[in-house]
Amino acid sequence: MDEVIINVEHLDKMYKLYNRQRDRMKEALGLSKNKPLYKEHYALKDVSMQVHRGETVGIIGTNGSGKSTILKIITGVLSATSGNVEINGRISALLELGAGFNMEFTGIENVYLNGTMNGFSEAEINSRLEAILEFADIGEFVNQKVKTYSSGMFVRLAFALAINIDPEILVVDEALSVGDVFFQNKCYHKFEEFRKDGKTILFVSHDLSSISKYCDRVILLDHGRKMAEGKPKEIIDIYKKVLVNQTSSAMSGSETVGEDGKLISSLNRNYKGGLWKSHMILNPSNDTYGSGLAEIEDFCLIDNTGNMVNTVVKGDSFSVKVKTRYHADISEPIIAVSLKNRMGVEITGTNTMFEKLTTGDCKDGDEIVAVFTQKMMLQGGDYLVSLGLVGYREGNFTVYHRLYDIFNIQVISSKDTVGYYDMDSEVELYKNGKEI
């Protein structure tokens, strides 16, 4: 068995929640008369896990599942209510970047301050200073007070400092998305260097593409409990169902993967019923309008396993299913679907007219369901889906119902190319006339 470098046993973290501030004071002064004035909230409950030397382990889960809490306990930022944590190596933590900076100090002064706080001598900091400043790449601003920095310069210096202290264990909480796209690229290269050097990495991310690409093993937390553990693909599949409430979090114990790599799980994967869209994560501030003569009554996204989800693996087929209902006599309605990126740029889309499908004459009360099936070849990332129901009525173009940015699709990818779309190229290499 490989050396265990992080060992977490039966970890609990409980917070006392008070309805009133004075109840907190009464509790502190011992005036509660043996009656609790608070509710117990467990951010973590009986969580156990191990990380072996040289592993890259990801932790995923919905907001409030305990991901950041467990990282803070492992790095010593928080203390546990109960349980044990053993660490066998020097940790560098990328949690709240720049949390230890003094805003009145210059960038250089903060490098020495934080280096000293991490146990380095002045000589050791001097030996690393050039690498830190080169990575941060903020020029002469290193000699200015940190309070004058832009947010981008601040996180660049903080990241550069944290990642250049040569740790045995790197603990990261969503920190790989700092700065502009060029700095992010530099961060990922450094991350890859750590992996190739055999360093141990434990990180939390909502970016499932990064989890899929970098992790040897993934742990899923849900409401403070360890729900599942295993290979990235299997755990991401479970997480996709958690996101749309297709699985029960009330489980008797944590799930794991057996020696054959197959998931050992007792998850309840049954749909709750009701509208399709009730199984989707929807945009609460979407823009909707139309004449009301017809409506988009229901919709969902279905992956290649038949589940209603908001996530699709790049290269897999998926379907957008749209149910329309008619409240008047309408001829040849057009049902449409389109995708935008996060900046609002329309990337792709189609409709029943483009696909040369005839919807015919619809009467009051009629229903038409359109299923748009395609292969996902967009790059990894988040996209917004809009739906439309339009047509020509008495010679005039009419919007019957339109739902802008109604839900998102997260594309999970372990390989991205340039631009928005992957051409799915097959590449052949020849060296000195011979194929390699």
CB 196 within 8 A of CB 177: no
For residue 13, the model assigns a pLDDT of: 95
CA dist list (Å): 410 to 228, 244, 349? 21, 13, 16
What is the crossing angle of helices 151-163 and 181-196, to 10°? 10
Name the H helices within 11-149: 21-28, 67-74, 107-117, 122-136
Fold of 276-412: Coagulation Factor XIII; Chain A, domain 1 (2.70.50)
Antiparallel, parallel or unpaired: β 200-204 and 169-173: parallel
Strand, coil or helix: 92: strand
Q: Give the start-to-end residue ranges of the domains of the chain.
A: 4-90+167-263, 276-412
Residues 18-57: b if buried by 16+ CB within 10 A, e if exposed? eeeeebeeeeeeeeeeeeebeeeebbbbbbebbbbbebbb
For residue 103, the one-letter residue type is: M
- Number of other residues whose CB lies within 10 A of the CB of residue 158: 25
Residue 344 CA to residue 340 CA, distance in Å, equals: 5
For residue 206, the model assigns a pLDDT of: 82
For residue 301, the model assigns a pLDDT of: 96
Strand, coil or helix: 257: strand
- Ranges of residues in the chain with a pLDDT under 50 are 1, 248-272
Element (H, E) at 48: strand 38-52
Element (H, E) at 208: helix 208-214
Beta bridge partners of 367: 325
CB 156 within 8 A of CB 179: yes
For residue 89, the one-letter residue type is: G
pTM of the model: 0.71
For residue 173, the model assigns a pLDDT of: 82
Could you tell me where the beta strands, DSSP code E, fall in 280-364? 287-289, 294-302, 311-313, 317-326, 330-331, 334-341, 346-351, 361-362
Q: Taking the domain 4-90+167-263, which CATH number applies?
A: 3.40.50.300
Residues 164-189: b if buried by 16+ CB within 10 A, e if exposed? bbebebbbbbbbbebbeeebeebbee
- The residue behind tokens 């996709």 is 240
Residue whose C-alpha is closest to residue 11's, from 44, 55, 50: 44
Domains 4-90+167-263 and 276-412 share a fold: no
Give backbone dihedrals phi and psi of 295, rounded to 5 degrees, phi first: -145, 155
Residue 75 CA to residue 118 CA, distance in Å, equals: 12
Antiparallel, parallel or unpaired: β 287-289 and 256-257: unpaired
CA atoms within 13 A on the CB side of 138: 28
Residue 377 CA to residue 416 CA, distance in Å, equals: 10
CA dist list (Å): 149 to 104, 152, 272, 376, 433? 11, 8, 50, 41, 54
Beta bridge partners of 334: 390
